[in-house]
């Protein structure tokens, strides 16, 4: 069972990145000329938010992966699992066809009729 990611985990994990985002946004807004704040700061802020969004999703994947790694146990004894139950289903070869051939071919070929020539 997977453990849900909490908002608190995100806050802790992304605290430094969020501070950096706020610093970049403040710098872009403060360096813009009066009357041109949006026009001059919009692109740098948008780029900073895009980087933060990427960091957020990467952190979410990392947190989720770490929580699921702890829950996974390949075997209770710690021994390597045998290959029983793996591979192609019984009666099939590794290419997915039955040893007697592909049954679909026989069904598809049934609709063909030979035409008489020369009446």
Q: How large is the average pLDDT for residues 66-78? A: 64
**Structure confidence by residue, pLDDT tens digits, 26-63:** 999 999 999 999 999 999 999 999 999 999 999 999 98
CA distance 55 to 116: 72
CB of 45 within 8 A of CB of 29? yes
* Angle at the Cα of 57 from the Cα atoms of 55 and 63, rounded to 5 degrees: 100
pLDDT at 70 over 90: no
Contact 45, 27 (CB under 8 A): no
Cα–Cα distance measured from residue 52 to residue 65, given in angstroms and rounded to the nearest whole number: 20
pLDDT of residue 45: 97
Outline where DSSP puts E strands in 22-101: none
Q: Which of 17-21, 23-27, 53-57, 71-75 has the lowest mean pLDDT?
A: 71-75
**The pLDDT value given to residue 66:** 85
> Would you state the pLDDT for residue 3?
76
Residue 96 pLDDT > 60: no
Q: Mean pLDDT throughout 6-13?
A: 88
Domain regions of the chain by residue span? 7-70
């Amino acid at each position: 069972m997977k453990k849900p990611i909490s908002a608190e985990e995100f806050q802790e994990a992304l605290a430094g990145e969020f501070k950096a985002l706020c610093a970049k946004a403040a710098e872009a807004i403060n360096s813009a000329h009066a009357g041109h704040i949006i026009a001059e700061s919009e692109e740098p802020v948008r780029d900073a938010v895009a980087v933060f969004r990427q960091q957020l999703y990467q952190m979410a994947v990392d947190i989720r992966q770490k929580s699921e790694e702890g829950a996974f146990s390949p075997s209770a004894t710690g021994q390597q699992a045998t290959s029983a139950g793996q591979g192609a289903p019984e009666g099939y070869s590794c290419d997915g066809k039955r040893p007697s051939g592909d049954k679909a071919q026989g069904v598809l070929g049934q609709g063909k009729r030979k035409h008489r020539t020369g009446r």
